[in-house]
């Protein structure tokens, strides 16, 4: 039976390094299968998060051959077999152990976003064409690969000032909900620091759900922020008409 | 004597174990009722198996088929469950599901729409009308995210990656729970006046399953050990369509929505074999029937190359398939190199769902131990001998809410119980023992053997001989599980976690096997080769499992008699027909 060499990060916050394992290859095998093989036969304490194993829960994110991926959707036969396949934890989050990282920061950011608040006179009639954009964003499985790859977080570690692509997607879903009544422009500008994003589209590239994060979520939100805070004409119109200010 | 002050300790009115649909809905209700609530979850928030529910939420909203109403939904559920259901649960479920769906929409869920702006509903196996509210084939994700956001907004406390290993009782009632943080392996004590078990199913006891590592029957085993009754444990649902190839994806769910949208099943000779087994409902027959049909086709030599059947949706326009079944399209393309818009999928039965579980009262979701409640897959009763697709998500909402409500009412009427330090000391000792053993077996190899036993001896078709053998094997496995050795430290150590989960899996596996052995008939998901037909006597009884003096006991309890108006309702079936 053919074998592959898997090079996996083993260690914790303090120390660690790469360790190689020889894994038998079966047809259609994915990287997560290989990790399970290591766990089940070689090292039972190898720490790896996973749940659905079908690309629907977003638990098994890691960096395979340097690329952020869901290990359950990364086929071994899509990777070169003549050298070790490297599997490392997501770089933008602190390592807990092996491939498991501390992603709790994401849950803290999420709490800052005001939830859906329906218009008081909502009739609950919505048409497919009106919900489609929101549905695109709600496909997000919270794998945090977009957060991991975003240079504002990965290279500059702006976790205090910047929310990251995942939470622009969530905010966009709320803002573009046909019946939502809130305005989250100030949140986007001040709390989530959307201005830091310089639309390099790395997030869009790694999204396993193929959400057009930059084009459909971030850019329209940036436009909203500009309209709200930086457009002198609109500002004047608003002053005269007394239109509501963002929350 | 253990001093509990050495443990991290938390105090709540209501503790909810499990953060899938039922647990989150229970938490939302308990919060709304003013309780102090915590949710404990083995995984990160939002990763529970609810995200894998694809097809939809069954609720008689009559948006598409105007003739639908709760009575028809009730009847379909009772017939699907072969009348072994708790009728009151089936009634409440059918009556309340539409409100629970509307509530989700008011909390921000975006369902697919009809042309006049209502929530769109699709056809599903065993449902007389188009009844499943859905979002493409990712309805469960929509539901869990909506509930998660709602709970976060209301401000519940969530203990993520924390596993409960013991329910604490004093004077026979719930006083709290003891668990450990997966990350550091530290122990944690929860004092609680009421506990809701919402831990889902037992799929990981089988080799071919759609379930993730979490579904090891923890909640059922914890409740059983605390003295609660389990019910209907013989009824394990094998979903007819799991992936069969390649090997790594074997068991992964292929949503029933494929058939709901018009998918056709064929054998290797190209025959549409459901014509033989259920000519009226064909592919949209109930899951027990379709699973057995596929199994039989394969067994009799008419299966696909990799031992499954062919499921084909490629006669529908490619754009339609991609729109209505996007996850399936990607799943097959990426994992199996199959383009489902062009050719058929290979599918076969996979262990998917547990109809049995903790025996509860219909209105309150209260188990037989005071202060203990259960909802969702962990509870028994609603689905009887076989669950209809789509009835699970609605179950989570209807009975999750009811459990949260009753748990809060219970908590308000009672004081905190005493924490029994002996119980904590025992649980801690047992949990740490695998580190001290040398030599000892790897928990993974015991788990693999357990899965083979359940898969081969207590699977879709069962016999007395097989199951007697299974009971013997389970005894040996129990002995092996008590002597597993764990390597490494307590920090995020999956081998150690599995060593504990094995204990729960063995408990529920024994309950499944004993109940299945006792039921000398075939009904719903329970098929006996040695007793192929219905038995009227057994049709009026539920199997109930409980622990007496440390030993598993089985007894039969009469199924609750239906009131006359509902009896009448079921009798009307013949005039309406079962499926459109």
Domain-embedded: residue B277: yes
pLDDT tens digits for range A168-202: 999 999 999 999 999 999 999 999 999 999 999 99
Owning domain of residue B481: 427-538
- How many angstroms separate the CA atoms of B367 and B228, rounded? 6
**Closest-CA distance of chain A to residue B447, Å:** 10
Q: What residues pair up with A86 in beta bridges, in sequence order? A: A7
Number of domains in chain A: 2
Per annotation, catalytic residue among B259, B352, B359, B514: B259
B34 contacts B56 by C-beta, under 8 angstroms: no
**Which residues in chain A are contacts of B151 at CB distance < 8 A?**
none
Percent share of chain B, pLDDT over 70: 98
Instruction: Name the token pair of B422.
Output: 């002996």
Between chains, do A96 and B491 touch, taking CB under 8 Å as contact?
yes
Domain-embedded: residue B336: yes
Percent share of chain B, pLDDT over 90: 96
Give the contacts of B579 (CB within 8 A, at least 6 positions apart).
B126, B127, B128, B280, B281, B284
Active site annotation includes B83: no
DSSP B127-184: -SS--EE-STT-HHHHHHHHHHHHHHHHT-EEEETEEEEEEEEETTEEEEEEEEETTT
B340 contacts B320 by C-beta, under 8 angstroms: no
Per annotation, catalytic residue among B93, B166, B239, B410: B239
Between chains, do B494 and A111 touch, taking CB under 8 Å as contact?
no
Q: What is the CATH number of the domain that holds A18?
A: 3.10.20.30
Active site annotation includes B239: yes
A39: nearest CB among B44, B183, B494 = B494
Q: What is the CATH number of the domain that holds B323?
A: 3.90.700.10
Prediction ipTM score: 0.94
Residue for token digits 């929101």?
Answer: A134
Query: Cα B75 to the chain's mean position, in Å?
Result: 21
**Which residues in chain A are contacts of B116 at CB distance < 8 A?**
125
Instruction: Name the token pair of B506.
Output: 């063995």
Instruction: Name the token pair of B459.
Output: 């699977």
In this structure, are A61 and A115 located in the same domain? no
Q: Which of B40, B46, B378 is nearest to B176 (CA)?
A: B40
Residue B367, CB-side half-sphere exposure with 13 Å CA sphere: 36
Domain-embedded: residue A138: yes
In this structure, are B436 and B342 located in the same domain? no
User: Can you give the pLDDT at residue B579?
Assistant: 37
- How many angstroms separate the CA atoms of B248 and A114, rounded? 41
Number of domains in chain B: 2
Instruction: Name the token pair of B566.
Output: 């509902």
- How many angstroms separate the CA atoms of B167 and B72, rounded? 39
Return mean pLDDT, chain B. 96
pLDDT tens digits for range A102-136: 999 999 999 999 999 999 999 999 999 999 999 99
Domain-embedded: residue B514: yes
Number of Cβ within 10 Å of residue B415's Cβ equals: 7
- How many angstroms separate the CA atoms of B489 and B491, rounded? 5
Angstrom distances, CA of residue A152 to CA of A64, A103, A145: 21, 16, 13
B211 contacts B51 by C-beta, under 8 angstroms: no
B417 contacts B171 by C-beta, under 8 angstroms: yes
Between chains, do B45 and A107 touch, taking CB under 8 Å as contact?
yes
- How many angstroms separate the CA atoms of B321 and B305, rounded? 25
Residue for token digits 């990160």?
Answer: B44
Question: For an interface test with A, which of B208, B333, B445, B492 has the most A Cβ atoms less than 10 Å from its Cβ?
Answer: B492
Domain boundary among A78, A101, A124: A101
Beta strands in B161-301 (DSSP E): 162-170, 173-181, 187-197, 230-231, 236-243, 264-266
Whole-prediction pTM value?
Answer: 0.96
- How many angstroms separate the CA atoms of B66 and B87, rounded? 24
Domain boundary among B334, B349, B364: B349
User: Can you give the pLDDT at residue A243?
Assistant: 58
| Confidence category of residue B562, pLDDT binned at 50, 70, 90 | very high
In this structure, are A112 and A234 located in the same domain? yes
Domain-embedded: residue A18: yes
**Which residues in chain B are contacts of A57 at CB distance < 8 A?**
46-47, 51-52, 212
CA-CA-CA-CA torsion sign (B180, B181, B187, B192): negative
**Which residues in chain A are contacts of B489 at CB distance < 8 A?**
45
User: Can you give the pLDDT at residue A1?
Assistant: 66
Q: What residues pair up with B113 in beta bridges, in sequence order? A: B119
Domain-embedded: residue A23: yes
Residue B575, pLDDT > 50, answer no
In this structure, are A111 and A122 located in the same domain? yes
| Confidence category of residue A233, pLDDT binned at 50, 70, 90 | confident
In this structure, are A89 and A110 located in the same domain? no
Residue B576, pLDDT > 50, answer no
- How many angstroms separate the CA atoms of A203 and A219, rounded? 13
pLDDT tens digits for range B409-439: 999 999 999 999 999 999 999 999 999 998 8
Q: Which of B125, B147, B467 is nearest to B280 (CA)?
A: B125
Q: At what angle do helices B21-32 and B391-412 cross, to 10 degrees?
A: 40
**Which residues in chain B are contacts of A42 at CB distance < 8 A?**
none
Domain boundary among A73, A101, A129: A101
Question: Within an 8 Å CB–CB cutoff, is residue B363 touching chain A?
Answer: no
Q: What is the CATH number of the domain that holds B525?
A: 1.20.58.100
Q: Are strands B345-354 and B357-358 parallel, antiparallel or unpaired?
A: unpaired
CA-nearest residue of chain B to A114? B153
- How many angstroms separate the CA atoms of B239 and B460, rounded? 10
| Confidence category of residue A236, pLDDT binned at 50, 70, 90 | confident
- How many angstroms separate the CA atoms of B490 and B179, rounded? 13
A39 contacts A48 by C-beta, under 8 angstroms: yes
Question: For an interface test with A, which of B210, B248, B306, B434 has the most A Cβ atoms less than 10 Å from its Cβ?
Answer: B248
Owning domain of residue A118: 104-241
Average pLDDT over every residue of B63-87: 97
- How many angstroms separate the CA atoms of B231 and B515, rounded? 9
**Closest-CA distance of chain A to residue B578, Å:** 31
Question: For an interface test with A, which of B20, B50, B107, B108 has the most A Cβ atoms less than 10 Å from its Cβ?
Answer: B108
pLDDT tens digits for range B132-170: 999 999 999 999 999 999 999 999 999 999 999 999 999
Q: What is the CATH number of the domain that holds A199?
A: 1.10.1060.10
Instruction: Name the token pair of B230.
Output: 């389990």
């Amino acid at each position: 039976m053919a074998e592959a060499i898997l090079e996996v990060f083993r260690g914790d916050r303090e120390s660690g390094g790469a360790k190689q394992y020889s894994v038998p290859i079966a047809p259609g095998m994915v990287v997560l299968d290989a990790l399970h093989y290591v766990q089940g036969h070689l090292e039972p304490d190898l720490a790896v998060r996973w749940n659905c194993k079908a690309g629907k829960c977003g638990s098994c994110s890691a960096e395979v051959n340097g690329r952020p991926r869901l290990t359950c959707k990364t086929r071994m036969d899509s990777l070169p077999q003549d050298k070790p396949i490297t599997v490392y934890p997501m770089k933008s989050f602190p390592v807990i152990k092996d491939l498991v990282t501390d992603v709790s920061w994401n849950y803290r950011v999420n709490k800052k976003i005001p939830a859906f608040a329906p218009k008081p006179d909502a009739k609950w009639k919505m048409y497919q064409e009106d919900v489609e954009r929101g549905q695109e964003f709600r496909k997000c499985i919270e794998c945090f690969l977009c957060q991991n790859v975003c240079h504002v977080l990965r290279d500059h570690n702006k976790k205090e000032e910047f929310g990251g692509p995942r939470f622009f997607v969530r905010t966009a879903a709320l803002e573009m909900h046909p019946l939502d009544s809130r305005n989250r422009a100030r949140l986007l500008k001040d709390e989530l620091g959307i201005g830091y994003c310089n639309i390099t589209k790395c997030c869009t590239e790694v999204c396993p759900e193929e959400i057009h994060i930059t084009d459909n979520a971030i850019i329209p939100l940036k436009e909203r922020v500009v309209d709200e805070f930086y457009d002198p004409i609109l500002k004047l119109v608003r002053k005269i008409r007394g239109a509501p200010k963002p929350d | 004597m253990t001093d509990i002050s050495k443990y991290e300790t938390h105090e709540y009115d209501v503790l909810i174990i499990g953060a899938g649909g039922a647990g989150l809905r229970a938490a939302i209700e308990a919060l709304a009722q003013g309780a102090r609530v915590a949710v404990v979850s083995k995984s990160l928030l939002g990763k529970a198996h609810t995200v894998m529910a694809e097809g939809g939420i069954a609720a008689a909203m009559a948006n598409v088929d105007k003739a639908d109403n709760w009575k028809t939904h009730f009847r379909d559920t009772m017939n699907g469950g072969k009348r072994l259901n708790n009728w009151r649960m089936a009634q409440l479920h059918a009556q309340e599901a539409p409100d629970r769906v509307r509530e989700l929409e008011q909390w921000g869920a975006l369902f697919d729409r009809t042309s006049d702006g209502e929530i769109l509903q699709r056809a599903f196996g065993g449902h007389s009308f188009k009844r499943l509210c859905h979002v493409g084939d990712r309805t469960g994700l929509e539901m869990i995210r909506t509930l998660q956001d709602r709970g976060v907004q209301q401000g519940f406390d969530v203990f993520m990656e924390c596993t409960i290993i013991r329910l604490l009782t004093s004077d026979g009632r719930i006083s709290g729970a003891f668990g450990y943080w997966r990350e550091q392996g530290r122990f944690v004590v929860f004092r609680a006046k009421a506990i809701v078990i919402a831990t889902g199913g037992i799929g990981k006891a089988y080799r071919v399953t759609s379930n993730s590592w979490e579904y090891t029957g923890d909640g059922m085993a914890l409740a059983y050990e605390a003295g609660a009754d389990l019910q209907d444990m013989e009824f394990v649902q094998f979903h007819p369509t799991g992936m069969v190839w390649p090997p790594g994806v074997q068991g992964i769910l292929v949503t029933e929505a494929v058939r709901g949208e018009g998918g056709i099943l064929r054998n290797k000779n190209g025959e549409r074999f459901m014509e033989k087994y259920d000519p009226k409902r064909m592919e949209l027959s109930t899951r027990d029937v379709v699973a057995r049909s596929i199994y039989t086709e394969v067994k009799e030599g008419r299966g696909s190359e990799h031992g499954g059947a062919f499921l084909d949706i490629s006669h529908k326009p490619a754009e339609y398939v991609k729109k209505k079944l996007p996850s399936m399209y990607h799943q097959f393309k990426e994992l199996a190199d199959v383009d489902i818009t062009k050719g058929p999928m290979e599918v076969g039965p996979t262990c998917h769902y547990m109809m049995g579980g903790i025996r509860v009262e219909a209105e309150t979701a209260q188990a037989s131990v005071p202060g203990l409640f259960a909802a969702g897959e962990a509870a028994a009763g609603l689905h009887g001998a076989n669950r209809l697709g789509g009835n699970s998500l609605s179950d989570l909402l209807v009975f999750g809410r009811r459990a949260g409500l009753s748990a809060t009412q219970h908590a308000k009427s009672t004081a905190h119980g005493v924490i029994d330090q002996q119980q904590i000391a025992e649980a801690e000792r047992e949990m740490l023992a695998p580190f001290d053993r040398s030599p000892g077996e790897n928990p993974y190899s015991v788990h693999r053997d357990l899965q083979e036993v359940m898969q081969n001896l207590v699977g879709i078709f069962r016999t007395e001989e097989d199951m007697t053998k299974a009971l013997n094997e389970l005894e040996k496995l129990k002995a092996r599980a008590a002597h597993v050795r764990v390597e490494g430290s307590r920090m995020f150590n999956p081998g150690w976690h599995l060593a504990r989960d094995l204990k729960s899996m063995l408990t529920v596996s024994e309950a499944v096997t004993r109940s299945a052995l006792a039921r000398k008939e075939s009904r719903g998901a329970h098929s006996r080769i040695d007793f192929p037909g219905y038995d009227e006597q057994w049709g009026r009884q539920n199997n109930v499992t409980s622990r007496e003096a440390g030993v598993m006991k089985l007894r039969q309890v009469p199924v609750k008699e239906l009131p006359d108006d509902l009896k009448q309702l079921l009798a009307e079936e013949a005039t309406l027909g079962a499926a459109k």
